[in-house]
């Protein structure tokens, strides 16, 4: 299995936009499932670090800490995969720019929008 970083949207369009966050969590879980079925061992740090009691994504300092912790996995991963059915978030664009600067391998994928 390849070690893969999953990049997908997490945050809503505004603070407290829980409907979009829930949509994005469902989508990230689907991305994880897709990745595992491709014989990959994925990590989606935005699903891990935003769990209750770990980091608060609405606090800029903690959000940045989570992004930094997630990106640290790039040093051991084989590549990253951007799941794009819901577009590019600010964090995803920042990750892409970093991967481009470091000439790290990544792929773009689509799995379709969440079903109702």
Residue-wise pLDDT tens digits, 75-101: 999 999 999 999 999 899 999 999 999
Domain count, the chain: 1
Residue matched to tokens 């595992």: 36
Task: Give the domain extent around 92.
Answer: 2-109
Contact indicator for 21, 10 with CB cutoff of 8 Å: yes
Q: What is the pLDDT of residues 44-66, one digit of tens each?
A: 999 999 999 999 988 999 999 99
Distance CA(81)–CA(33), nearest Å, equals 13
Does the residue 40 lie in any domain? yes
Least Cα distance to 82 among 92, 72, 73 occurs for: 92
Domain with residue 14: its CATH number is: 3.40.50.10400
Does the residue 114 lie in any domain? no
Stretch 109-116: mean pLDDT, rounded? 94
Distance CA(112)–CA(110), nearest Å, equals 6
Does the residue 115 lie in any domain? no
Does the residue 103 lie in any domain? yes
Does the residue 34 lie in any domain? yes
């Amino acid at each position: 299995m390849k070690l893969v970083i999953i990049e997908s949207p997490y945050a809503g369009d505004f603070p407290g936009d829980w409907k979009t966050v829930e949509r994005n969590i469902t989508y990230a879980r689907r991305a994880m499932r897709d990745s595992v079925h491709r014989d990959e061992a994925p990590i989606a740090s935005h699903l891990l670090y935003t769990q209750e009691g770990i980091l608060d994504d609405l606090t800029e300092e903690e959000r940045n800490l989570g992004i930094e912790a997630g990106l640290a996995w790039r040093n051991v991963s084989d590549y990253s995969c951007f799941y794009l059915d819901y577009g590019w978030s600010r964090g995803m664009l920042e990750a892409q720019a970093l991967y481009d600067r470091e000439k790290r391998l990544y792929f773009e994928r689509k799995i379709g929008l969440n079903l109702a």
